[in-house]
Amino acid sequence: MWRSVLACVGLVACFAPALNGQTKVCAFQDKPGHAANVSDSDADALARELNGHSIETVAAVGVPKKDEDAEAQKRGCSWIVTLWRQDESPDSPVFAGSLGAARGGDAQTMGEINSTGGTGGAILNFRLQKAGDRKDLAHGYSTDASPYTKMADQIAKKINKGK
């Protein structure tokens, strides 16, 4: 009887690393970009947050989009998170009001142009896919200075749901 139990425990111990490997995530960022308050890339900062959610994550910066699947396979990742930044122009106007309510000769009703305050920030975008599949399972963006916790929560929830 005890031999059977020990044999089962031994099998579980042998296969446990393989089961954990099924939730390994590769966080890719094709262009080296820096997070607002860290000295490394956005991919590194997101990987730290996902590791904090007990999801093994590795960051890879400088990998082109076309090579992500091959790199994920090489690293043993079953999930791919792609990150990219879009710069916001500091002079981008914000339109208020309705353009449809315009009356001839009344410029204010065509929408007031408000300054954005010259923040010159960036939008951090992410996309989650299973390795080898081009279907987006989750995507999102944030203009927050430190969006990694929120993004990691969304990604972890989707991964846990997809197991």
What is the number of structural domains in the chain?
A: 1
Q: Measured in Å, how far apart are the chain's first and last C-alpha atoms? A: 33
Of residues 35 and 154, which shows the higher confidence score?
154
**Could you list the residue range(s) of the whole structural domain that residue 81 is in?**
23-87+122-162
State percent of the chain over pLDDT 90: 48
For the chain, what is the mean pLDDT?
74
Predicted local confidence at residue 59, as pLDDT: 96
Is residue 131's pLDDT more than 60? yes
Is residue 160's pLDDT more than 50? yes
Q: Is residue 56 part of a domain?
A: yes
Q: Which CATH number does the domain housing residue 140 bear?
A: 3.40.50.11240
DSSP 113-162: EE---S---EEEEEEEEETT----SEEEEE-SSS-HHHHHHHHHHHHHHH
Q: Could you give the CA distance from residue 138 to residue 156 in angstroms, rounded to a whole number?
A: 11
Q: Is residue 116 part of a domain?
A: no
Q: Is residue 16 part of a domain?
A: no
Which range scores top for mean pLDDT: 12-16, 37-41, 70-74? Answer: 70-74
State percent of the chain over pLDDT 70: 61
Predicted local confidence at residue 91, as pLDDT: 55
Q: Is residue 94 part of a domain?
A: no
Q: Is residue 132 part of a domain?
A: yes
Of residues 77 and 143, which shows the higher confidence score?
77
Q: Is residue 7 part of a domain?
A: no
Lowest mean pLDDT among 2-16, 97-111, 121-135: 97-111
- Contact at 8 Å (CB) between 52 and 83? no
Q: Is residue 111 part of a domain?
A: no
Q: Helix 148-162 and helix 42-52: axis angle, to 10°?
A: 60
Backbone angles phi and psi of 59, in degrees to 5: -100, 145
- Contact at 8 Å (CB) between 134 and 72? no
Q: Is residue 27 part of a domain?
A: yes
Residue 135 CA: distances (Å) to CA of 51, 124, 132? 24, 20, 9
DSSP state of 52: H
Predicted local confidence at residue 4, as pLDDT: 56
